[in-house]
């Protein structure tokens, strides 16, 4: 049984705890690097897999749980976003987390904020287009968390592939001294990508939501096996499969370059990218009732599909 994590609710407390652990573990067998997993809580096996990797690769594992209000739009689900501090702390203890940072909104945003971190280009499409301001909120809070926790590495799930691309660009453009480590999507046995929002789905919606991973798998196989297939055909195939589900309402289905997230010529096959060994992302966002799910497949065109 692992020891319970130390809990910090203020910025001063978490800084103190991390500094102390770094000093205590300097020169120790597993080192004193800090692996950090920022989350919004309601933790599931996907988060657990990030924590396990952080723990394997670092002497100190830090987790933050903060439902960040500035990354939600006015008509989004901030108020009903699921929360469960007790269960989250139990999972953190099971995974051997050293420090959990659990700030309030007042602690993170005490006064009127005049600074926003905005990453352009990679935020123009996908969730950046359908959730205006979302990635400003993500980049701003993650910058603040990096300044507070000062991690060596930070671990993010590839289900939010655009978030990973945005944060990688931010860290590189701003010379932040932290390495972003993208980790594979974790799925249920039937293919549904794990998400805290899955809890909102009715039984019927959950059953129908399997069309997302199924259509990504089918499209990935097509990209791999049909040399002449075009982006337009891929997107039309996935859109058709999803539209066959009466409960699904498509927000977007797009095939873009990865990690730049730039559009491809819809009518031209992928041979240039295949030759240069480039990668593409097939990304989708679909609503079932009021629950919006995202999923994606990233394919290196010279290798086997990733993350599906
Ligand atoms: O992926 C999330 O849970 C959030 O976007 C993050 C990175 C914790 C920032 O609030």
CATH topology of domain 6-183: Rossmann fold (3.40.50)
pLDDT in tens, 143-156: 999 999 999 999 99
pLDDT in tens, 69-90: 999 999 999 999 999 999 999 9
124-145 as b/e: b if 16+ CB within 10 A: ebbbbeebebbbbbbbbbbbbb
Cα(198)–Cα(193) distance, integer angstroms: 9
Residue 3 is predicted with a pLDDT of 82
With a cut of 60, say whether residue 305 has pLDDT above it: no
With a cut of 90, say whether residue 2 has pLDDT above it: no
Residue nearest to atom 8 of ligand 1 (CA): 39
Q: Are 36 and 155 in contact (CB under 8 A)?
A: yes
Domain boundaries, the chain: 6-183, 196-307
Enter the tokens of residue 25: 């573990």
With a cut of 60, say whether residue 308 has pLDDT above it: no
Q: How far is the CA of 49 from the centre of ligand 1 (A)?
A: 15
With a cut of 90, say whether residue 1 has pLDDT above it: no
Q: What does DSSP assign to residue 193?
A: B
With a cut of 80, say whether residue 302 has pLDDT above it: no
CATH topology of domain 196-307: 3.30.1300
pTM of the model: 0.96
Please state, rounded to an integer, the average pLDDT across all residues of the chain. 96
Q: Which atom of ligand 1 is nearest to the CA of 138?
A: 9
To which residue do tokens 């020169």 refer?
A: 27
Longest Cα–Cα distance in the chain: 59
Q: Which atom of ligand 1 is nearest to the CA of 64?
A: 8
For ligand 1, mutation pick of 141, 146, 156, 194 (most atoms within 8 Å of CB): 141
| 134 labelled catalytic | no
Residue 136 near ligand 1, beta carbon < 6 Å = no
């Amino acid at each position: 049984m692992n020891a319970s994590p130390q809990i910090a609710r203020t910025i001063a407390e978490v800084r103190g705890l991390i500094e102390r652990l770094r000093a205590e573990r300097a020169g120790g067998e597993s080192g004193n690097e800090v692996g950090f997993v920022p989350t919004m809580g309601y933790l599931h096996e996907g988060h657990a897999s990030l924590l396990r990797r952080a723990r394997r690769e670092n002497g100190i594992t830090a987790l933050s749980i903060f439902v960040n209000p500035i990354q939600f739009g006015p008509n989004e689900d901030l108020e009903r976003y699921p929360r469960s501090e007790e269960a989250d702390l139990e999972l953190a203890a099971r995974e051997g987390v050293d420090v959990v940072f659990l700030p309030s909104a007042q602690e993170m945003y005490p006064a009127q904020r005049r600074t926003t971190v905005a990453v352009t280009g990679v935020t123009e499409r996908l969730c950046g287009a359908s959730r205006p301001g979302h990635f400003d909120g993500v980049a701003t809070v993650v910058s603040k968390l990096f300044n507070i926790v000062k991690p060596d590495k930070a671990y993010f799930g590839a289900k939010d592939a655009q978030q990973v691309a945005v944060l990688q660009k931010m860290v590189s453009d701003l010379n932040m001294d932290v390495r972003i480590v993208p980790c594979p999507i974790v799925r249920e046995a039937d293919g549904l990508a794990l998400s805290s929002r899955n809890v909102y789905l009715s039984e019927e919606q959950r059953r129908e939501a399997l069309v997302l991973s199924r259509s990504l798998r089918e499209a990935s196989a097509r990209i791999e096996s049909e040399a002449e297939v075009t982006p337009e055909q891929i997107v039309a195939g996935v859109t058709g499969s999803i539209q066959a589900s009466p409960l699904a309402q498509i927000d977007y289905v797009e095939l873009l370059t990865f990690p730049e997230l730039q559009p491809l010529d819809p009518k031209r096959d992928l041979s240039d990218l295949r030759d240069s060994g480039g990668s593409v992302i097939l990304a989708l966002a679909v609503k079932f009732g009021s629950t919006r799910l995202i999923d994606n497949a990233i394919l290196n065109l010279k290798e086997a599909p990733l993350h599906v």
